[in-house]
Amino acid sequence: MQPRFVGRLGLADAITVANAALGFVAAAVAMTDPALAARLVLLAAIADGLDGVIARTRGGTPVGDFLDSLADVASFGVAPAVFVYAVVTDGGTAALDTPLFVASLAVPALFVAMAVVRLGFYMLDDRHSPETEGVQTTLAATILAVSYLAGITNPTVLLAATAVFVYLMVAAITYPELYARDAIILGGLQALAVLFPTAIDRMFPRALLLFAVAYLVLAPFIYWRET
């Protein structure tokens, strides 16, 4: 007998569910291997983009949008928060009574909270709009993960970046959605960063970080492609 819900899922939904599973695995390995966790977050981001492409080309299901937001909470809310906590506390070995340990709990916890808030309100808005308010959770998670792969491993820097995203995810700043060509570039860089994180002096993670930060800083004001 087929499970109750499986027959109602499409291919795009299956990829979305895989995205959520990757988020769990990233969180699970973060304490022992932050670099692997960072690569898994990027892999989840690739899946997040791929499910949208498949939904547009082959058609989606009524549950697809809900699954997408739930998966994003796991992969781009919880997973990067656990990753940052693991880096800041050196795998949970930091002294419990230090200000750094308190910050390592509070800031990632706020990151998860604001990711949930943002995704909740995103579900109420027009998901087909070419613009969105606040930094996308996928972008925030991508920058945190790829920064580590690019060699930015200082705990204070990563914690500060996480705190900035706590604000930016719910800020009244309008971001345009990536156009198709730019999304392909981003996905390609994500794949190369996952497959070859240390090749050619970390060239691919650093290129992805540059691309992502350029979008983060410039996109609300100027976008490098005409509609």
Residue 115 burial (CB count, 10 A):
25
* Dist CA 141 CA 182 (whole Å): 18
Q: What is the mean pLDDT of residues 93-115?
A: 89
Tens digit of each residue's pLDDT (9 = 90 or more) over 172-212 = 898 988 877 888 888 999 999 999 999 999 999 999 999 99
Note whether residue 39 is domain-resident: yes
Domain count, the chain: 1
In a domain, 167, yes or no: yes
175 pairs with which residues across the strands?
A: 132
Can you give the CATH number for the domain in which 125 is found?
A: 1.20.120
How confident is the model at residue 227, as a pLDDT? 44
Domain-embedded: residue 194: yes
Q: What is the pLDDT of residue 6?
A: 56
What is the domain extent for residue 142?
6-218
